Structure 1
Amino acid sequence: MIRGHNPVIQALLASLFTWGVTALGAAVVFILPHNSKKFLDASLGFAAGVMTAASFWSLLAPAIEISEEQMGKYAFVPVAVGFACGAAFVALSDRLIPSCVRTDFSVVDFLTNSATADTQITTLKDAEADEPTCIDKRKSGESPGSVAFRQTPSPDASLLDVENRSIGPDTQSVSLMSEESQQSWRRILLLILAVTVHNIPEGLAVGVGFGSVGQTPAATFESAFNLALGIGLQNFPEGLAVSLPLAGFGYTKTRAFLYGQLSGMVEPIAALAGAAAVILMEPVLPYALSFAAGAMIYVVADDIIPEAQRNGNGTLASLGTIAGFIVMMCMDVGLG
């Protein structure tokens, strides 16, 4: 992020910085117990405050100023349209993510390659006494993730008898552990996908910020720098939010770190695209700035704040939000 260089180069360096902070957050898993929910919730709250302040002072304020020069009293139109489109983009991404992961968990089974993905066939010992046999549906050609019970042939047994038979505790535990394991893996995979998708508009915001430098008095190098710094700060808990549950679920800390930092890899690509688009198409600048702001605010309201409040640390998370907002506001006003 060297002043005077090409905006695309500046955007690339800034996005590499934000990716590095994501990796730094993921690396905390090496020194932090996997059940440190208070630290994670406070960090998420701080990130929410930082993103909210950065969305206004680094994105919306320049967008409004440019729109006033172009459209006068109708300056609110491009800002409102861009803001709504940015929020709709993230909302649509959130709706598409679950459809990418089928309910049969075949993607999860392939990615994890762990023993939990292969449920063993458990047979009750008293088969000759017409006891039902627990079989894994994956082995019988049916959809995985569920367990069926099959009765051994007996002329005296009825269907009602089979349905009323008691199921042994070992069989129940195998079935429940398999289902809970698959559900946990699915939640973790969705978390990784969600954080990765949300990093796209953040990288786009960095690119737009540097691409718009000099277009208006409000679009300065300092404001773009502060925006990149703010996004980097909020990327810290995002990296931790991926690596911490992975470590808690049984991954080695090295693998948890690698998955956590990979979620930020899309930011440099999005930043380059954003900077190039703004430079080539100056009239779309208000739309691009407000689009990035809308995407970031939607992520804050729909994902970060609810996640920070989920573990019963609501007051701590709210204090973190206030602190993050104040820090970013002071940086934007004092340095911009």
Structure 2
Amino acid sequence: MPFEFADTFVRLVGPSPLIQALAGGIVIAMMNLFGAALILVWRNPSERALDGMLGFAAGVMLAAAFTSLIIPGIEEYSGGNPLPTLIGVAIGALFLDRADTLVPHAHYLLTGERRRDAAASEEGLPVSEERLAGVILFILAITLHNMPEGLAVGVGFGAAGGDPAQIGGALSLMLAIGLQNIPEGLAVSVAAINAGLDRRIYAVIAGIRAGVVEIPLAVLGAFAVARVEPLLPYAMGFAAGAMLFVISDEIIPETHRNDYERVATLGLMAGVIIMLYLDIALAG
């Protein structure tokens, strides 16, 4: 079954790693759009639910960073030498750390005070410039954090080289990042609505925002590793390090701000379990 799924993907998309990466980037961007569009039907998700979903996203990314990037980078693409991949991990984390100094840390704006402000805006009161500035910073931060996700998908497909027998890891990574994009897209939409923006307009903007950064970076990742093969373990480590930085610096602290740590932890464990299952099922 795993090979049949991979073979079907190759038949539909073609054997080119670049086209496969393009398709993967589109998939994860569309799942981000789906998450953002949930605000149209789930108009007021609770902080408890959002913390659980973001915990799930963190668990998926945590497992994917190791099973689909770090371990293959060491075992398969650098002959068992851990240094290239681990150097990439360090550079990826450092890159996100420095980038965060350019885009200041912004929370998801899900506190009770923000929700009261949002309710006031729905009653026709003007949107606060402070709240609007906060959500713009948050959107920029999330866009920055989408970059390693798109890059990771592209690197995965570039490493597989279009071979159906090797593409399972790339597919599991694509599905994992797509799954975690759903709660992330919803969280960003909630932040935008809490700042007083229109939910219908922002649901579309969120998908465009994700696609603008994730799709080209997926193609770039595949192109880079296909043209310069020695970069592969470094690129895999870089994507993993950036993802791990986002998990530790942004997602987990955010899910522990509203006294729902247990829900977030259970969500994280569920994400890890599902990602491990996907990795074994598709790469096995």
TM range (shorter): 0.7 to 0.9
Which one of the candidate residues 234, 237, 240 is aligned to 1:293? 240
Residue 247 of structure 1: CA displacement? 1.7
- In structure 1, the partner of 2:97 is 91
TM-score, with length taken from structure 2 = 0.83
- What is residue 157 of structure 2 aligned with on the other side? 210
What does the per-residue CA deviation read over 1:15-41, in whole Å, with 9 as the maximum and x for residues that have no partner? 100000000000011111335222211
CA shift in 2, pair 1:261/1:215, >3 Å: closer
Residues 69-114 of structure 1 show CA distances to partners (whole Å, capped at 9, x for unaligned) of: 2xx6xx1211111000011111111111139xxxxxxxxxxxxxxx
Name the structure 2 match of 1:23: 33
* Equivalent AA in structure 1 for residue 175 of structure 2: L
> How far off its partner does 1:307 sit?
1.2
1:306 partner amino acid: P
CA contact (8 A) 1:34 1:248 kept: no
Q: What does residue 73 of structure 2 align with?
A: 63
Partner deviation per Cα, 1:108-152 (whole Å, 9 max, x = no partner): xxxxxxxx9xxxxxxxxxxxxxxxxxxxxxxxxxxxxxxxxxxxx
Number of equivalenced pairs: 254
* Pick aligned residue for 1:283 from 217, 230, 238: 230
Shift of 1:230: 0.2
Using the TM superposition, give the Cα deviation of residue 214 of structure 1 relative to its aligned residue in structure 2, in angstroms. 4.9
Amino acid at match of 1:42: G
Moved over 3 A (4+): none
RMSD between aligned alpha carbons? 2.4
Larger radius of gyration: 1
The Cα offsets for residues 162-207 of structure 1, whole Å up to 9 and x where unpaired, read as xxxxxxxxxxxxxxx99x9233222211110011111111100000
Instruction: In structure 1, give the amino acid aligned to 2:40.
Output: F
Contact 2:16 2:161 in 1 (8 A): no
Distance of 1:76 and 1:250 partners within structure 2? 48
Question: 1:53: which partner in 2?
Answer: 63
Is residue 78–residue 84 contact of structure 2 (8 Å, CA) maintained in 1? no
Structure 1: unaligned runs, 5 residues or longer: 100-115, 117-176
Q: How high is the sequence identity, in percent, across the aligned residues? A: 44
Preserved CA contact (<8 Å) 1:49 1:320: yes
Cα contact 1:240–1:260 (8 A) shared by 2: no
Q: How does 1:1-336 map to 2 (within 5 A)?
A: 2-3=9-10, 5-34=15-44, 36-66=46-76, 68-69=78-79, 75-98=81-104, 181-214=128-161, 220-265=166-211, 266-336=213-283
* 1:294-329 alpha-carbon deviations (Å, 9 max, x no partner): 111111111111111122211111100000000001
Pairwise CA distance, 1:335? 2.3
Decide which structure has greater helix share: 2
Give distance in 1, aligned partners of 2:282 and 2:27: 19
The letter for the 1-side match of 2:68 is S
For residues 225 and 100 of structure 2, the distance between their equivalents in structure 1, rounded to whole angstroms, comes to: 26
* Secondary structure, aligned partner of 1:98: coil
The one-letter code of the counterpart of 1:95 is T
Post-superposition CA distance 1:256-313 (Å, at most 9, x none): 2123223312100100110000000001111011111111111111111111112221
Distance 1:36 1:263, change over 3 A: farther
